[in-house]
Chain A
Amino acid sequence: MRDQGARAAVEINAVTKRFGNVVAVADFSLEVQRGELVTLLGPSGCGKTTTLRIVAGFERPDSGRVFIFGREVTHVPPERRDVGMVFQNYALFPHMTVFQNVAFPMRIAKRPKREIREKVREYLALVRLEGLEGRYVTQLSGGQKQRVALARALARSPKILLLDEPLSALDAKIRIQLREEIRQLQQKLGITTLYVTHDQEEALSISDRIVVMNEGNIEQVGAPTEIYFRPRTLFVASFVGTMNFFTGTAVTTGGEIKLKWHEVLLSLPPGANVKPGEAISVGVRPERLSLAFDGVTIPPGHNVIPGDVSFVTFLGSIMRVEVMLADGTKVKIDLPTKEGVNPQRGQKVYLCFSPDDAVVLKT
């Protein structure tokens, strides 16, 4: 506690957790700074929930240590960790009203009745649920239940907040609305938050930093824009957003290293750390690709690959075009829409992208 200001709010140090022969979390280390919202993102079974449960105290790591504001909590039982948690299924007490649910942590802590009443009112107002104090949780909608769960987790003013897939049971519209509210609330309270989700869009939209996990390991840690624009592994590139890959071998031509993809030579972004002969993939986001309908309008310096339009979807603000290349690869392109520009199925086109917009990934 001495150097609380200097240390990270949450420090996970080389934590490993096995279930039988399965390694759920492998040598996981992470520091979350005070007031930060960090998301653990990955497919199911990647160890993100286990990591969160280790921080909450529901699982004991096989090795490694966990600190909360400088205090080691690795072997501290969950009720003495002072962390608030929101569960995937809400885990509201069905035999209690909304008021009783939010009041529960304060009742356990034996706070005076009057203080409890005020706090409950305050936190229900915070999650915009005033007037529902007397309802049973079975009478609430999914979104309302999630707000109660949030109010209950915050009611004891915990040091950190843990959210385990809090929105996965809700429908799309409420999900988007609630995630914005959670982010605003988190920033307003300045509470350090660990957020678990498998939804990459959710992670990108609310996080200060994202930890992309796969099979118990950290693939990449970074700000949402960094994760999106500069993925460091093939897994991150394909899990977060849509990415088109061109896979081949690095070759040297004219003193410059390029990717030889079938018969086409593709320029690599400047500074790509690639040796000749290495197997690499070049990834390009659909919105970084453009189409040229003849050989003349190709921007200078761009990589160019010919193909045929195989599918077109008009989505209002963008047009999603699928182009089939000579080797059968299908490439997705998102074009900003413009009246009069209508690629036709079967039309011959040229795919163009600037080397600067590509990422190079080792395969």
Chain B
Amino acid sequence: MRRISHEWFFLIPITVFLGLFVFYPLTRVVLRSFTDNLTGHFTLQNYLNAFTQTRYLGSLKNTLWFAGACTLVGAVGGTFVGLLASRMSPKARGMLLSFYSLPMTLSSLVVAFAFIVLLGRNGVFNIILNRYLGLPKFDLYSWHGLVVTYSFYNIPLMTLTMASVFLNLDRSLIEAARNLGAKAWQVWIYVIIPVLAPGFIAGISIVLAGMLAAFGTALALTGMAKSLLSLQIYSHASESNYNIPQASALAVVLIVVIVGSLATLNWIERRLRPGGER
């Protein structure tokens, strides 16, 4: 027992840190969301606004659609590349995966400018597409432009998860299924997909959570032109539209949406996990 109490001692710094920089601000945000911007009195008006005013409802809807689309693209792309990576030689796979870890280390601003240089109105690829191939220009500053840009993060992120999921797939399960009479497509339906599902869902949880809160690159690319919940919060916290209690309420809504979707995915994952509850 003595040793355990000693180990607790080492948790103090991180607990203090989390307390000061996560729990304290979070509590402040929640408390502030129930106050009036001018008087500071208790009110539910900020939440009422969040669910009645068109711009807030619209941005919530946009956030959900945008995050869903990004997750779908990331999931499909990442699963495909992950499958390819799992079939490469260990050396080639190591190279691909370390290359794929790069986007996560890059500043969102740098990524935004890189995309502007490549796919902006006068970007290299747009010039090639338009001038030499006669195709219409790609609009980077549209919703699908944002989805493409964010795929730069999401596909690698999903690939890293799915590559290890595919690598951990026990080949003998596939052989056992074949041996028991299953054709290739039946092996996929009855064995591979169900066995991989928990890992896949864990992977899309990470992507979805990130996309619900997507901010930096979207701001750098579109300014406030595209109404995402994260951008709405930012606009209320910056000078032009200063209303911290409203920003706090929107932040709480966003937190609830993220926690809710993660909890749902987690619940599904637990049910799919081998031997999980049904």
- Residues in A neighbouring B18, C-beta threshold 8 A: none
User: B70-78, B183-191, B250-258, B261-269: which lies at the A interface?
Assistant: B183-191
A85 interfacial contact with B, CB 8 Å: yes
Check B180–A156 contact: CB distance below 8 A. yes
The 8 Å CB contact of B180, one of A88, A104, A136, is A104
- Residues in B neighbouring A85, C-beta threshold 8 A: 175-176, 179
Check A78–B175 contact: CB distance below 8 A. yes
Q: How far is the CA of A109 from the CA of B183 in the complex (A)?
A: 11
Q: How far is the CA of A281 from the CA of B22 in the complex (A)?
A: 79
Check B175–A87 contact: CB distance below 8 A. yes
A93 interfacial contact with B, CB 8 Å: yes
Q: Shortest beta-carbon distance, A209 to chain B, in Å?
A: 24
Minimum CB distance partner of B275 in chain A: A136
Minimum CB distance partner of B194 in chain A: A95
- Residues in B neighbouring A105, C-beta threshold 8 A: 180-181
- Residues in B neighbouring A138, C-beta threshold 8 A: 274-275
Check B194–A79 contact: CB distance below 8 A. no
- Residues in A neighbouring B191, C-beta threshold 8 A: 93
- Residues in A neighbouring B197, C-beta threshold 8 A: 95
- Residues in B neighbouring A223, C-beta threshold 8 A: none
Interface residues of A in 174-222 (CB under 8 A from B): none
The 8 Å CB contact of A79, one of B181, B195, B275, is B181
A46 interfacial contact with B, CB 8 Å: no
Q: How far is the CA of A57 from the CA of B183 in the complex (A)?
A: 13
- Residues in A neighbouring B179, C-beta threshold 8 A: 56-57, 78-79, 81, 83-85, 153
B105 interfacial contact with A, CB 8 Å: no
Check B173–A79 contact: CB distance below 8 A. no
Contacts A79-B178, A95-B195: A139 and B275 contacting too (C-beta < 8 A)?
Answer: yes
Q: How far is the CA of A279 from the CA of B43 in the complex (A)?
A: 103
Q: How far is the CA of A104 from the CA of B183 in the complex (A)?
A: 13
- Residues in B neighbouring A80, C-beta threshold 8 A: 181
Check B178–A78 contact: CB distance below 8 A. yes
A sample of 15 cross-chain residue pairs with beta-carbon separation below 8 angstroms, ordered by A number, consists of A78-B178, A79-B180, A79-B182, A79-B183, A85-B175, A88-B172, A89-B172, A92-B176, A93-B173, A93-B190, A95-B197, A104-B177, A104-B190, A108-B182, A137-B275
Q: Interface residues, chain A, CB within 8 Å of chain B?
A: 56-58, 77-81, 83-85, 87-89, 91-95, 104-105, 108-109, 136-139, 152-153, 156
